[in-house]
Every structure is written in C-alpha cells, then in structure tokens.
Structure 1
Amino acid sequence: MGIELELHAERPGRRKKGAPDTPLRASYKHGEGLASALSGLDLHHSGVLGRVDPYRDTAINEQEAELAGRQIVALIERCPTGPERAALLDLAAMLEACATTPGSYLVFIGD
C-alpha cells in the first residue's frame, strides 16, 4: 500500500471534456513511506492530514494545504530518519507548493 502525490492547477476532473488532467508536479517515489507515516493519525484529532484515505484519492485545496503545512512539522520531528522522514519532507514541499499556488489542489492518490 502506498500514497502518491499530485499537485494540480485546479480541481482534478474539472477540465473541459477531452482535455488532459496533467499535474503541475508529482511525487511517486515515497508512496509506502508516506502511507506508513500517515497511518497512525486519528481521523478526528489530526486535522487535514488525518483525513487522508490510504485506499482512495483525497484532494485538498490551497487553504487546507496551508493548515496541513503547519501539522507536518510535528510529524517530521517524530520521524528522525528513514523512508517515512523522506516521504514527509517531500509532502512538506508539495504542501508548500499547493499553499502558494492559487486555485490549486494536492491529491493524495490512495492504493
């Protein structure tokens, strides 16, 4: 099981019929580490990142990405080394890109 990331300029699936849904940026190399790092989060008490579903796609907008960016610092501190830390650092960069790109969405692609 893994979670991949894609940053889109607008909500995916909202393009005109026939137009490709191309991400601005993507991360496919830390899927298992990201799923592992997010697996311990509580749906009701872990904010935006706690809502990420490891089995389905979860999209967050730029405002939610800004909130999640504040959460990610604590998660990174709990993972001092290994694939989980690399995945969280990659997620932090994607959250920052989403938060600073008006109208964008970050999609967590569940396995």
Structure 2
Amino acid sequence: MKREHLAVMLAEQTSACRSAREALLAGGAFVVWDGTAPAGRLAHVYRARLRRTVRRGQPTQALAATVGILEEAAQAPLRIGRIDATDGSWSYMLFLDAAATAVLACTGVALGGRSSSGADTT
C-alpha cells in the first residue's frame, strides 16, 4: 500500500485519525499487515489495552472509541496497520476492512512518557 493511498483513507473515523495521518505524511514508518482477524477478537484485545493504559496513566487517542467500533463490527474480518511517528512519541494502530480499502478505526498510544491525568479514552 502506498503512503498517499493510506493518507486518503484516514479521515474522521476517530479523533486519532488526524494525528495518524499527520504522522504518516511527515514520513512516519507504516505497515498494513496481510491477513485478517475477527473484529470481536480485536475488540477484546483492545478493551484490555484500554484498561492497562488507564491504570498506568499512559496517554492514548481514541482508544475507547476504537473499542466501540470494533465491538460494533462483530466478527467482520479486519486487517491491521500501524503508523509510528518519526520522533517515536506516538504509535497508531489502524483497523481496515478485509480488502484494505477503508479505515474503520484508528487509535494512538504515547510511547514512553506517562501523564498524571490518565488516558484520553474518547
């Protein structure tokens, strides 16, 4: 997948998509993996990550919203992608349809630092 094509797909699915798009266009490393996983299984995994990040006070972007979208997608097969900011400050996980033609959700997690205010779970 080309960087420009992925950037076009990152719209307003979640509040993290804009930051992910900016990181991508600034030259951040990215990958969209082959294969799919059921949305329900991904929802379970990311619900647990939400609990851990809140407990640790690790800043996130749109993690709760992404979990909700994954739950609504039920057992639909989804592909997973990732974008890493060039400065290493944030990593974004993308959830795409099985054909990788549309981004359904995007979440970001800050790497390294922790915030005393906890995670932004919107």
TM-score, normalised by the number of residues in structure 2: 0.35
The structure with the largest strand share of the pair is 2
TM-score, normalised by the number of residues in structure 1: 0.38
The structure with the largest helix share of the pair is 1
